[in-house]
Amino acid sequence: MCCPNTCAQVFKHCQEIGSIQRRSNIAGKGVNERLSYVFKITSDESLKKGLIEAVKIISEGGIVAFPTESFYGLGVDATNTDAVQNLFKIKGRDHNAPILILISSFRNLPQYVADIPPKAKRLGKKFWPGGLTMVFQSSSVLSSALTSNTGKVGIRISSHPLANALSNTLNVPITATSANISGMPPCVKADQVVEYFNNAVDLILDGGETQGKCPSTILDVTIDPPLIIREGMIKVEELINHLTNSG
């Protein structure tokens, strides 16, 4: 991790000129140098430009940081094994810890899971887009590195405008693991992502400070009754009440 003063200078420089020269981190690419930068989203036009660059980087196997409802996340192509493995590497993440993904809409879910239980459909209609991650049996489309060889994958649809726009612009699902070194506090600001990762992230979409309260709630729907893995933005009582009253 770089010192705070250096990170602040780098971040200021990124804001002023839009890009700085850094070592390439594109997974599986033989490129020595590429422009890597913080892209500040201030208007619809800047959003369009930022999304174009993000799509290009992700399609090449790179890593993009972006804001979500809670913290900044790190996105790579969830079908690209090299990109997923690189993500584990820069986070120092245990390969036994699966990574969740974002999809653009419920109608895309069947492409990435082996089965959609009835309770998952009911919960998805209520809590997607939003702070509920549901764990499904993964399809063969997704990288096995994502699932940590469990055969399961956590999926959600984000309600954050920028994260949702990124999901909708891509033709592939993206990871949404928190932007932090494993075991360290997650980031709520773009400059904090710079402090953690310096040149290990190819693009940071700066959508301002995130709420930084709770992460998403994680619910395993591969078993019945579904199992709470982590309580977060959606409270257990809300899930129980909905399943009780909608069934």
Domains along the sequence of the chain with CATH? 4-246 (3.90.870.10)
**pLDDT over 90 for what percent of the chain?**
81
pLDDT at 35 over 80: no
**For residue 9, what pLDDT band results from cuts at 50, 70 and 90?**
very low
**For residue 198, what pLDDT band results from cuts at 50, 70 and 90?**
confident
For the chain, what is the largest distance between any 2 Cα atoms, rounded to a whole number of angstroms? 57
Kindly list the strands in the beta sheet with 33-40, ordered across the sheet, starting from the edge strand earlier in the chain: 20-23, 33-40, 203-206, 64-67, 72-75, 177-178
Question: What's the mean per-residue pLDDT of the chain?
Answer: 87
* pLDDT score for 213: 84
Q: Quick check: helix, strand or coil at residue 175?
A: strand
What's the CA gap between 115 and 190, in Å, rounded?
37
